[in-house]
Amino acid sequence: MPDIQVLEADGKTMFIDAPDRAGLVHVAMVEEAARQEDARYKLLSHEEVYDGFRLRNAKDLLRYGDHVTPLGDRLRLLAALDEHGSLPLSECLNAFHETKPVAGVASLILRGFVDVNLDDGPLGPETSVRRISR
Residue 22's pLDDT is 67
What are the pLDDT tens digits along the chain (134 aa)?
A: 788 899 888 889 999 988 886 677 788 888 888 999 999 999 888 888 888 899 999 999 999 999 999 999 999 999 999 999 999 999 999 999 999 999 999 999 999 999 999 999 999 999 999 999 86
Domain boundaries, the chain: 4-50, 54-131
Q: Global pTM?
A: 0.73
Integer Cα distance of 27 and 15 in angstroms = 12
Q: What is the pLDDT of residue 52?
A: 86
Q: For residue 48, what pLDDT is reported?
A: 82
Q: What's the angle, vertex CA 132, arms to CA 129 and CA 134, rounded to 5?
A: 165
Kindly give, in sequence order, each residue whose CB lies less than 8 Å from that of residue 100, ignoring residues fewer than 6 positions away.
none
CATH number of 54-131: 1.10.10
**Is 52 buried (19+), middle (13-18) or exposed (0-12) by CB count in 10 A?**
middle
Quote the pLDDT of residue 19: 81
